[in-house]
Structure 1
């Protein structure tokens, strides 16, 4: 069985690649907007917070590595919990 659905490389995108990489052919655009952003400090990625408290993921390659598909999918229950909290 093929795993092609786990990887998408959009070389024609005007922002490609949106992060520095030495291997653009392996850059996964499937999670262009990282679904783990909402998890804040519990996302598992390489991020920092700006002085104003905004999460800065510009140094993070976690969603763009084709080997991390399963990790991201494993976090969807955590995302559902964040999204379902009442204020």
Structure 2
């Protein structure tokens, strides 16, 4: 296979900082999964929660309006590290907007 036909892997792929599986956790896995070997605990508390309906995950809202991420495994899939980190600038932008509005 030539260099031209090789698929370029993301810079984080295979790096230790992009995946952590905590099987010793009393809540592991915190969401149903058919693939516990690739269950990423790195984003135990999803940083995308703050994006509300724009997070990209499988969520719903409770009757009282609280975002319910019980069925979402987006932050827990090994291959989604890049997706999660790509959203950090959006989160920072929204936080800056909130500060400007005094929220």
**TM-score per shorter chain, which class?**
over 0.9
Structure 1 unaligned blocks of 5 or more: none
Partner of residue 92, structure 2: 80
Runs of 4+ more than 2 Å apart: none
Partner of residue 49, structure 1: 61
Q: Number of matched residues?
A: 87
Whether 2:97 is the aligned partner of 1:66: answer: no
Bigger radius of gyration: 2
Q: Give the alignment's TM-score, normalised by structure 1.
A: 0.94
How far did residue 23 of structure 1 move? 1.4
Alpha-carbon displacement from aligned partner over 1:13-58 (angstroms, at most 9, x marks no partner): 0110000011111100000000000000000101001110000001
Alpha-carbon displacement from aligned partner over 1:47-84 (angstroms, at most 9, x marks no partner): 00111000000100100001000011110011112222
Q: How does 1:34-45 map to 2 (within 5 A)?
A: 34-45=46-57
How far did residue 10 of structure 1 move? 0.2
CA RMSD between the two structures: 1.3
Whether 2:32 is the aligned partner of 1:20: answer: yes
| Mean Cα deviation higher: 76-85 or 27-36 | 76-85
The DSSP-based 3-state class of the residue aligned with 1:33 is coil
